[in-house]
């Protein structure tokens, strides 16, 4: 799957960009399926506004209950002051999460494909476990910022093995909120942990190391079908989308079963049953 240079680049930089990893037809099928899930979503059945800087989501049962199902989350800016959607529902969704890889008839087979399994093995995941999947929409005009973070903050193991797979389902650039990364930043410390205590969630600081400065960050402007691999300690962020087009992506997070899943992660296995691999 990966050549020695690509493996070395991942080790050196903490991320790897693989253009054309997924064929155009499959990208279209995945993207169409995302829109179909949103179309079928009835906000009256429940909803949650997802914003990484909003402590109120900590208490959001909609979020905590999404670990083993497929739920839609609204953008923080989706509603006006009177509580009405500013844009059509299809252009108001922040994400779908968090078990598409287990339950969805289109996303599950993709998530368990031989190509992803081979890639994960090449990145060093010996006993991979798929923990979480999301479709992130970054809708036009109201797509929210995702501030600098490390995925190990949210999906923690000892030692840290969480690895992110980020698939562009639409072209991503600096105008519609592409990823930004700090090359080599995975050698830095884990700065914070997102801790669960019962149904309470909080962000706990661990290390005061500063987030990257603008000149340390590089944008990953990629066409649809590109897969980006992200080390769990790599600082990354994405800006708000104020453009007229969305920036849909599918993310999948795996950890190595040889590491210990932290019991205070927000996401816990049902009845102690650990998740399957690719
Ligand atoms: Fe992330």
What spacing in Å lies between the alpha carbon of 88 and ligand 1's midpoint?
27
What is the whole-number distance in angstroms between the Cα of residue 24 and the centre of ligand 1?
24
Q: Is residue 100 a contact partner of residue 135, using CB atoms and an 8 Å limit?
A: yes
The structure tokens listed for 62 are 């909609």
Number of domains in the chain: 1
Residue 272 inside a domain? The answer is no
**Contact (CB, 8 A) for 14 and 186:** yes
Is 148's pLDDT higher than 80? yes
Tell me how far apart the terminal alpha carbons of the chain are, to the nearest angstrom. 15
pLDDT digits (tens, 9 = 90+) for 212-262: 999 999 999 999 999 999 999 999 999 999 999 999 999 999 999 999 999
Q: Residue 46's pLDDT band (boundaries 50, 70, 90)?
A: low
CA of 236 to the centre of ligand 1 (A): 6
Contact 172, 145 (CB under 8 A): no
In a domain, 80, yes or no: yes
> What residues contact residue 8 under an 8 Å CB cut-off, 6+ apart?
none
Q: Output the pTM of the full model.
A: 0.94
273 inside domain: no
Find the 89 Cα to ligand 1 centroid distance in Å. Answer: 24
Task: Please tell me the distance between residue 82's alpha carbon and the centre of ligand 1 in angstroms.
Answer: 32
Tens digit of each residue's pLDDT (9 = 90 or more) over 198-221: 888 899 999 999 999 999 999 999
Ligand 1 geometric centre to CA of 96 (Å): 15
Q: How far is the CA of 97 from the centre of ligand 1 (A)?
A: 14
Beta strand 70-75 pairing with 49-50: parallel
Determine contact, residues 252/111, Cβ cutoff 8 Å. yes
Q: What is the DSSP track for 27-42?
A: HHHHHHHHHHHHHH--
- Whether residue 278 is contained in a domain is answered as no
Distance, C-alpha 180 to centroid of its chain: 13
Cα of 168 to ligand 1 centre, how many Å? 14
Question: What is the domain-level CATH number for residue 148?
Answer: 2.60.120.620
Angstrom distance (rounded) from CA 16 to CA 12: 10
Give 251 Cα–ligand 1 centroid separation in angstroms: 9
Cα 117 to Cα 194: distance, rounded to the nearest angstrom: 28
The Å distance, Cα 4 to ligand 1 centre, comes to 26
Tell me, in angstroms, the distance from the centre of ligand 1 to residue 106's CA: 23
**Dihedral (CA of 170, 173, 177, 180) sign:** positive
For residue 29, the CA-to-ligand 1 centroid distance in Å is 24
* Dihedral Cα 211, 138, 78, 268, nearest 10 deg: -70
Confidence class for position 76, pLDDT limits 50, 70, 90: confident
In a domain, 10, yes or no: yes
Residue 24 domain boundaries: 4-267
């Amino acid at each position: 799957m990966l050549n020695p240079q690509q493996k070395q680049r991942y080790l050196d930089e903490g991320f790897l960009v693989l253009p054309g990893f997924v064929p155009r037809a499959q990208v279209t099928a995945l993207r169409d399926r995302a829109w179909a899930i949103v179309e079928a979503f009835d906000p009256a059945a429940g909803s949650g506004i997802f914003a990484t800087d909003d402590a109120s989501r900590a208490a959001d049962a909609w979020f905590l209950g999404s670990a083993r199902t497929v739920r839609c989350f609204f953008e923080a800016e989706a509603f006006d002051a009177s509580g009405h959607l500013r844009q059509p529902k299809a252009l108001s969704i922040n994400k779908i999460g968090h078990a598409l890889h287990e339950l969805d008839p289109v996303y599950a087979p993709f998530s368990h494909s031989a190509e992803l399994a081979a890639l994960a093995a090449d990145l060093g995941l010996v006993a991979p476990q798929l923990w979480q999947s999301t479709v992130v929409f970054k809708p036009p005009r109201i797509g929210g910022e995702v501030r600098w973070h490390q995925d190990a903050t949210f999906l923690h193991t000892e030692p840290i093995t969480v690895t992110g797979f980020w698939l562009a389902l639409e072209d991503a650039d600096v105008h519609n909120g592409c990823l930004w990364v700090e090359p080599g930043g995975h050698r830095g410390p884990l700065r914070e942990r997102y801790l669960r205590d019962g149904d309470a969630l909080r962000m706990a600081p661990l290390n005061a190391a500063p987030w990257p400065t603008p000149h340390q960050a590089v944008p990953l402007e990629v066409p649809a079908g590109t897969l980006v691999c992200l080390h769990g300690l790599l600082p990354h962020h994405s800006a708000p989308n104020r453009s007229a087009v969305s920036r849909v992506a599918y993310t999948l997070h795996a950890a190595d079963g040889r590491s210990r899943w932290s019991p205070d992660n927000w996401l816990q296995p049902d009845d102690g049953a650990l998740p399957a691999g690719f």
